[in-house]
């Protein structure tokens, strides 16, 4: 707990958890029968390769991860997000979330405002979109740029113009022009496939789990990576740093969805963190491994805002943020996230930290400095813990991936042996240790869920 202050589970962002999942199959079938058209969800493609699947946004919306968002956004809501990073209800939110279709598909559907659209995934009924508004994206490249910022418009943190090497920018640039805005409702409750099923803790369930474990303070570790020992040390240090003494729980929340080439497969990521738990490297009594379905935008400070919203909705009291949080390339300042949470970014609409603005976040940041391996100390060094700056050796992700690609069993200071065995397991399964177009294409056919048969 924080010294001298009692901490309790924070309120959901917006005040109430969104829950738009119909669990009664009979009710779901009745709802499906009264829809006006049917649409099979398709992945967003760039050069023939999936970069996003809106089904993950529907899942995370309906299960409350993105509370208070309830569906695909209207044009007015998107415009306000791009200008002020706020919903029309004033609550802070970083990204436009839309259900987009091509002109051709829109004409085939023949739907209009006031209609209901039955959405199918893997050929089965999945969700309903109640259409409140139909609008057009006039210029997707302009939308992509406005989403992430510019060097001129956001000089505090943007260092280079965004381009095709930035996955999030590509996602928005690749959207279809017609947006169907309205609320989603899942009417055929999905089942998570292995290995993801055992890590599925939507906000309602995660809050129940914390209460069952007696956790009043929970710090979250955001990950899109298989954990090396440096990540493990980051979690351990963050849980004991600053005003937390100590944090009752350490939650790992892995982002599951399309990632850039060179990232690890989702299955290896989540089972790698599980291996840390099963190996006892972090006490399982204070360690919980979970997932969120989302195709990462790699938006550094903006991504961190979404991460804060997700984890606050899950019930976390704190969130650790390190250097280059959720980043790719050198588009943003390496400490852009910590600038946002530490003093704010006025050009994005935050003259103060996002915990100190009206309708902001309650979850508290735990900003972490750089860590490295010190050969002289023979251990992981963090911040100013030792004075051997000349000897320090950084944890280079590219170096570690190169070692893995060459089949070199890394020393224990880089990977726990149990974690590396997980990498090898999924390497054998997919014939390559990292994400590539083949893996992404196959994954989008299978998805992370299965759906019960529903006869309409």
Q: Does residue 65 form part of some domain? A: yes
Contact 73, 81 (CB under 8 A): yes
Please indicate, yes or no, whether residues 259 and 394 belong to a single structural domain of this protein.
Answer: yes
> What separation, in Å, do the N-terminal and C-terminal C-alpha atoms of the chain show?
52
Query: Residue 214 class from Cβ within 10 Å (0-12 exposed, 13-18 middle, 19+ buried)?
Result: exposed
The helix/strand count (H/E) of the chain reads as: 14, 18
Instruction: Walk along the chain (456 residues) and give the pLDDT tens digit of each residue.
Output: 334 445 567 999 999 999 999 999 999 999 999 999 999 999 999 999 999 999 999 999 999 999 999 999 999 999 999 999 999 999 999 999 999 999 999 999 999 999 999 999 999 999 999 999 999 999 999 999 999 999 999 999 999 999 999 999 999 999 999 999 999 999 999 999 999 999 999 999 999 999 999 999 999 999 998 998 888 888 887 777 555 557 899 999 999 999 988 889 999 999 999 999 999 999 999 999 999 999 999 999 999 999 999 999 999 999 999 888 999 999 999 999 999 999 999 999 999 999 999 999 999 998 876 666 777 776 676 655 677 776 666 665 666 767 777 777 777 777 899 999 999 999 999 998 889 999 999 999 999 999 999 988
Predicted TM-score (pTM) of the model is 0.93
In a domain, 36, yes or no: yes
Position 19 in a domain:
no
Give me the CATH number covering residue 181: 3.10.400.10
CB distance 220 to 256 below 8 Å: no
Please list the residues that pair with 253 across neighbouring strands: 222, 290
Residue 424 contacts residue 404 (beta carbons within 8 Å): no
Residue 436: CB atoms within 10 A of its CB come to 15
- 254 within 8 A of 199, measured Cβ to Cβ: yes
Using only C-alpha atoms, the chain has a radius of gyration, in whole angstroms, of 22
* Domain termination residue (choose one: 160, 191, 222): 191
Tokens 């406005």 identify what position?
A: 146
- Sequence-distant (≥ 6) Cβ neighbours of residue 270 within 8 angstroms: 195, 196, 199, 254, 256, 289, 291
Same domain for 203 and 178, yes or no, is: no
Q: Are residues 305 and 236 in the same domain?
A: yes
283 is in which domain, residue-wise? 196-444
Do 218 and 186 share a structural domain? no
Has residue 47 been placed in a domain? yes
Question: CA 309, CA 351: separation in Å to the nearest integer?
Answer: 19
């Amino acid at each position: 707990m924080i010294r001298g202050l009692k901490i309790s589970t924070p309120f959901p962002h917006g005040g109430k958890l969104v829950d738009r999942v119909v669990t009664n199959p009979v009710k779901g079938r009745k709802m499906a029968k009264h829809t006006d058209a049917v649409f099979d969800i398709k992945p967003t493609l760039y050069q023939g390769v999936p970069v996003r699947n809106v089904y993950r946004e529907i899942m995370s919306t309906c299960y409350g991860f993105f509370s208070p968002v309830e569906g695909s956004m209207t044009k007015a809501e998107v415009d306000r997000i791009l200008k002020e990073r706020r919903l029309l209800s004033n609550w802070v939110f970083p990204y436009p979330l839309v259900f987009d279709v091509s002109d051709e598909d829109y004409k085939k559907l023949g739907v209009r405002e006031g209609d209901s659209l039955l959405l199918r995934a893997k050929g089965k009924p999945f969700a309903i979109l109640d259409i409140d508004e139909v609008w057009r994206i006039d210029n997707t490249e302009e939308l992509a740029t406005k989403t992430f910022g510019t060097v001129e418009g956001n000089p505090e943190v943007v260092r280079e113009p965004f381009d095709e090497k930035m996955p999030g920018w590509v996602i928005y640039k690749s959207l279809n022009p017609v947006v169907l805005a309205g609320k989603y409702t899942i009417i055929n409750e999905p089942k998570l496939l292995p290995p993801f099923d055992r890590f599925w803790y939507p906000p309602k369930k995660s809050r129940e789990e914390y209460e069952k474990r007696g956790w009043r303070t929970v710090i979250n570790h955001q990950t899109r990576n298989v954990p090396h020992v440096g990540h493990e040390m980051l979690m351990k240090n963050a849980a004991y740093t600053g005003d937390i003494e100590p944090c009752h729980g350490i939650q790992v929340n892995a982002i599951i969805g399309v990632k850039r080439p060179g990232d690890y497969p989702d299955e290896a990521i989540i089972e790698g963190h599980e291996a840390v738990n099963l190996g006892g490297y972090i006490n399982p009594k204070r360690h919980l491994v979970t997932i969120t379905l989302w195709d990462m935008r790699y938006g550094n400070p903006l991504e961190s805002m979404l991460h804060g919203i997700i984890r606050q909705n899950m019930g976390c009291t704190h969130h650790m943020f390190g250097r280059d949080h959720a980043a790719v390339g050198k588009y943003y300042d390496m400490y852009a996230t910590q600038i946002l949470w530490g003093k704010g970014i006025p050009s994005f609409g935050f003259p103060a930290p996002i915990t100190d603005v009206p309708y902001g976040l309650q979850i508290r940041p735990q900003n972490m400095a750089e860590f490295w391996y010190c050969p002289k100390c023979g251990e992981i060094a963090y911040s100013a813990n030792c004075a051997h700056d000349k000897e320090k050796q950084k944890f280079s992700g590219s170096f570690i991936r190169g070692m893995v690609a060459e089949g070199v069993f890394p020393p224990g200071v880089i990977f726990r042996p149990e974690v590396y065995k997980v990498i090898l397991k999924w390497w054998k399964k997919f014939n390559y240790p990292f994400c590539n177009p083949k893996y992404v294409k196959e994954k989008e056919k299978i998805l992370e869920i299965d759906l019960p048969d529903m006869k309409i």
